[in-house]
A and B are shown apart, each in its own frame.
Chain A
Amino acid sequence: MLSPSIQTWAALPLVLGSLVVLGLVDLGANPQEVIIRGLGQASLVLLLFAYAMTPMERLWQGLASQLGYKAKPFGLVSVRRVVGLWALGYAVLHLLAYWLFEQDQDTWQVVVDFFRRPFVTVGTVALLLMLALGLTSNRLSMIKLGPRWKQLHRLIGLIVALSILHYVLHKAGKNDFIEPMAFGLVALAAWLLKFKASRS
């Protein structure tokens, strides 16, 4: 039950987006901006969710044993892969929407931006790393890469950090950091829990 319900949740922005493209939902004066930002946020939320799954599962187990009973695994870890893939999907759509709406399909301009604008550089690097993880998130790659697979997939921490940095840099100059800070706090909490677990 867990996987279908999480997948339904993950698909919501996509469904909403399709309704917008079909003209069934009005996004106000600047729909292109809402779409670009919405896709970026959907990707980041799911990415954080994937990142925080192991510590959340551990937290749940720890809480249960403190209360004196043995909890059944939540099964969060089993859906980590699919949630990560959803995050990747939204990140790709986020870049596509940027190319489509913000740069009027001018691919060269996106390349120029990559070198000229730090928030684009950071965001693209995060996306490329995510792509590497996505492409190797199958059993065959796990077998082929052996111990290196785990090393590669530890990069999710870096991807989370880069994605939040991308968000902060985009907001920089407006001094309005509440949203990226909220994401940052969740990421920090997850990282601390992971760090603690690796120590004990």
Chain B
Amino acid sequence: MDKPTEEHHFLSYNNFYEFGTDKSDPAEKAPSRLLVDPWTLRVEGLVAKPQIFDMQELLKLAAVEERVYRLRCVEGWSMVVPWLGIPLNALIKRVQPLGSAKYLQLVSLADEKQMPGLRSDVLQWPYREGLRMDEAAHDLTLLAVGAYGKTLAAQNGAPIRLVVPWKYGFKSAKSIVSINFVERQPTISWQKAAAHEYGFYSNVNPEVPHRRWSQATERRIGEGGLFAPRRPTLMFNGYAEQVASLYTGMDLRRYY
């Protein structure tokens, strides 16, 4: 695995539009505003056992493990992050999805008192993400509660966030308050904002360019000096061996 990115970059260079659209906004504004305790995660929809979890109950679902993943942002930069978390699958097993449940919709916190970015209509709030059931249940998919050996910082989506390492970073929703099991593919916030630029799947794919830039290469944050070359972006962010089979027979240009 690649060398982890220096922690101070991970803590200072963030996209968390609920706190503003500048990369420095989340680190400046989130720590003093975001209330992470008490926190509850409501899990509902097409499941046999809907439940509202508090953090203690969540952490009892499975042992917290460290996973070092590449994180590739759709904007063309990447980091390597040692996450701490539990597999999302542990939660899925607990609530027992019905046969009709085909997708998960994940909803992030949207509280105007805590999040100054909500005043801007850059996106439709609350931030919504979604995964197909097999993607959500995949062993790589993590519910992260920490990173770099510590509890997750506010600007990184405390206290609980999704991490799906083979998809562009925006799929890994932050500060999640609810997960809804549904039958139809949910519309995600970025699709609502610009459907021609951001798709439901958003798998990292160097061959499918973004409308405004190529996705063939990436800037690894903190690697080398000012004139260090970019890195080639890997198919499924380097996790093709584990996840390519989820998409057999799918036209990845159409389902971007």
Would you call B226 an interface residue if the criterion is a C-beta within 8 Å of the partner chain's C-beta atoms? yes
Interface residue A173 (Cβ < 8 Å from any Cβ of B): yes
Bound together, the chains give a CA A101 to CA B120 distance in angstroms of 31
Stretch from A25-33, A79-87, A132-140, A182-190 that touches the partner: A25-33
A32–B219 touching, CB < 8 Å: yes
> Is A117's beta carbon under 8 Å from chain B?
yes
**Interface hit among B43-51, B137-145, B208-216:** B208-216
Cα(A119)–Cα(B213), bound, Å: 10
A107 beta carbon closer than 8 Å to chain B = no
The interface residues of chain A lying within 8 Å CB-to-CB of B211 are: 117, 173
Closest to B196 in A: A173
User: Which one, A29, A102, A176, contacts B9 given CB within 8 A?
Assistant: A29
A104–B219 Cα gap in the complex (Å)?
10
Supposing A30-B77, A104-B229, A119-B212 touch, asked if A176 and B222 sit within 8 A by C-beta, the answer is: no
Label chain B's interface by main secondary structure: loop
Residue pair B212, A170 in contact (C-beta under 8 Å): yes
Q: Which of A29, A109, A113, A116 contacts B222 (CB 8 A)?
A: A29
A117 proximity list for chain B (CB < 8 A)? 211-213
**B28: interface (CB < 8 Å):** no
Q: Can you list, as one digit per residue, whether each of A162-198 has a CB less than 8 Å from chain B (1) or not (0)? A: 0000000110111110000000000000000000000
Is B91 an interface position by the 8 A CB rule?
no
Q: How large is the interface on A (under 10, 10 to 19, 20 to 34, 35 or more residues)?
A: 20 to 34
The reply to whether the CB of A21 lies closer than 8 angstroms to some CB of chain B is yes
B239 near A: Cβ within 8 Å? no
Q: Within 8 Å CB of B77, what residues of A?
A: 30, 33
Number of A-B contacts (CB under 8 A): 60
Given contacts A28-B13, A29-B9, A30-B13, contact A175 B226 (CB under 8 A): no
Pair A173/B13 contact, Cβ less than 8 Å: no
Q: Would you list which residues of chain A between 1 and 34 have a CB under 8 Å from chain B?
A: 20-21, 23, 28-33
In Å, the complex CA distance between A87 and B115 comes to 38
Q: Are A176 and B219 in contact (CB under 8 A)?
A: no
Give 9 nearest A-B pairs by CB, closest first: A29-B13, A173-B194, A29-B9, A173-B197, A29-B221, A175-B122, A176-B21, A176-B122, A104-B229
Residue pairs across A and B with Cβ atoms less than 8 A apart, 23 shown, are: A21-B226, A23-B225, A23-B226, A28-B23, A28-B24, A29-B221, A29-B222, A30-B221, A31-B226, A32-B219, A33-B77, A104-B217, A109-B214, A113-B214, A116-B209, A119-B212, A169-B212, A172-B194, A174-B122, A174-B193, A174-B194, A175-B122, A175-B193
B binding-site residues for A, Cβ under 8 Å: 9, 12-13, 21, 23-24, 77, 120-123, 193-194, 197-198, 209, 211-214, 217, 219, 221-222, 225-227, 229-230
